[in-house]
Structure 1
Amino acid sequence: MSSGGPKTRTRVLEATWRLMEERNGQGVRMRDVANAAGVSRQAVYDHFGSRAELMVATARYGDEVRGLEERLRGYRAAVSGVERLEAFIEFWGNYIPEIHGIARALLAARESDEAVAAAWDDRMRVVQEACRDIVWRLQRDGMLAPWWSLEEAGEMLWSLLSIGNWENLTLERGWPVSLYVTRMQELTKRAFVRDRE
């Protein structure tokens, strides 16, 4: 077993993702990852200085292999706040099913595992930034409903788009993802966008 190069790094990240899903985020140690990847524990540490760094890199790797940057193109190209709101919900509602396994694992383990919490916080920070950007653009466009402050609107939007809400509607209640996206777009526009007079 050796530390290897980029291929070893990729094997370690893939093994970590798989173990996190299989174990629902519980008890995934560096030794377990090394064994699953077929490398030494030292090789894992050579690529990732700590378990927290490994967990964060794993979550980011999942986004990378799923083409996150390309999939955000429509959101980033949208000029108005309303267009960005619709585009982000379209993206996010369709992306959650692809990351749901790892998201559940991170959610399940984050309360008792600082490394997992770091990975969750890192990924949620990206969603929070998108929500803040959306409400900032709504305000810039004069379209943010007057009862919202920027901070409260960003936090509420982020909360509405939580994975738990997605699960309740799609997994528990059986909504198709397309219905979730449509209804969430309608709901958030009613909640955050000023009435056109």
Structure 2
Amino acid sequence: MAPSIGVPQNARSRRTREALLEAARTLIEEDGFDVMTLDAVARRAGVSPRALYLHFPSRSELLTALYRRLGESEDLSVSLAKVWNREDAVSALEEWAHHIARSHPRILAISRAIERARSTDEDAAALWQLTMRNWLTSCRRLADWLDAEHQLAAPWTPKTAADMLWTLMSWDVTERLTVDRRWSRKAYGTHLAAMLKATFVPAGPAAT
């Protein structure tokens, strides 16, 4: 996916850009990924197609910018930083669970729409693959940290632990617990943290 153009310095241009990104997000969340054409985004934002193309020459660039905006507007990087700022791997694992509970419900609708469209839309597929790579990188970092501190229970290896952590981030899990079963984010984080600790951390004293 091509990198998006920079954020414009002109206040009016910034407002137009934000309106376009908000329109794209709303279209995806309300009507699905297939309807999010550049023309539809322009109409929803109330701007001309020419104005849209000045900011986003392609649908791919618009989606890349929207992906980055989600991280900024929902403070995903701030939430994730709380994981890496922990002093030890076990508390980082627990904070990881709370990070998922804080962040995933807020971006569930748009993420589900992109997931459904990835088999038929190349831009959606590229965005999905980027997200999955980022997830797996973070999961491996956490698993390596546990292993380095001798806090990774048998039979897990850093690779298998990372794979399982990545799988447990599934949008299915988030949707079923927070939407279908109506768990609060606090309950989601608390129970996920307990499960992760019981699964990946040795029950007895740490190995030396």
Give me the TM-score of the superposition, normalised by structure 2.
0.84
**Cα offset for 1:16?**
0.5
Q: 1:83 aligns with which of 91, 104, 114?
A: 91
Which structure 2 residue ranges, 5 or more long, are not aligned? 1-11
Deviation at 1:42, TM superposition (A): 3.4
Residue 111 of structure 1 aligns with an amino acid whose one-letter code is S
Cα offset, 1:40, TM superposition: 2.8
The counterpart of 2:66, out of the listed 45, 53, 58, is 58
Counterparts of 1:22-101 in structure 2, within 5 Å, are: 22-101=30-109
CA distance in 2, matches of 1:156, 1:76: 19
What residue in structure 1 maps to residue 153 of structure 2? 145
- 2:9 counterpart residue number: none
Superposed displacement of residue 64, structure 1: 0.7
Q: Separation in 2 of the partners of 1:118 and 1:44?
A: 21
The two structures have a TM-score, normalised by structure 1, of: 0.89
CA-CA distance at 1:120 after TM superposition: 2.5
Following the alignment from structure 2 to structure 1, what is the Cα–Cα distance between the partners of residues 77 and 165? Answer: 21
**Residues 99-149 of structure 1, C-alpha deviation per residue, up to 9 Å, x if partnerless?**
122112112212211112222232333322221111010011111123122
**Whole-angstrom distance in 1 between the partners of 2:130 and 2:51:** 24
Of residues 3, 8, 17, the one that matches 1:9 is: 17
- Separation (CA, whole Å) in 2 of partners of 1:73 and 1:153: 21
2:167 aligned residue (159, 162, 180): 159
Match for 1:28: what amino acid?
A: M
Percent of pairs with identical residues:
34
In the aligned structure 1, how far is the partner of 2:184 from the partner of 2:47?
A: 41
- Pick one of 170, 176, 183 that aligns with 2:178: 170
Select which of 139, 158, 180 maps to 2:188.
Answer: 180
Does the aligned pair in 2 maintain the 1:56–1:122 contact within 8 Å?
no
Cα distance, 1:96 vs structure 2: 1.7
| Letter in structure 2 aligned against 1:79 | E
| Alignment partner, residue 126 of structure 1 | 134
Q: Distance in 1 between matches of 2:50 and 2:90?
A: 49
Unpaired segments of 5 or more residues in structure 1? Answer: none
Task: Kindly report the root-mean-square deviation, in angstroms, between the aligned alpha carbons of the 2 structures.
Answer: 1.8
Tell me the residue number matched to 1:104: 112
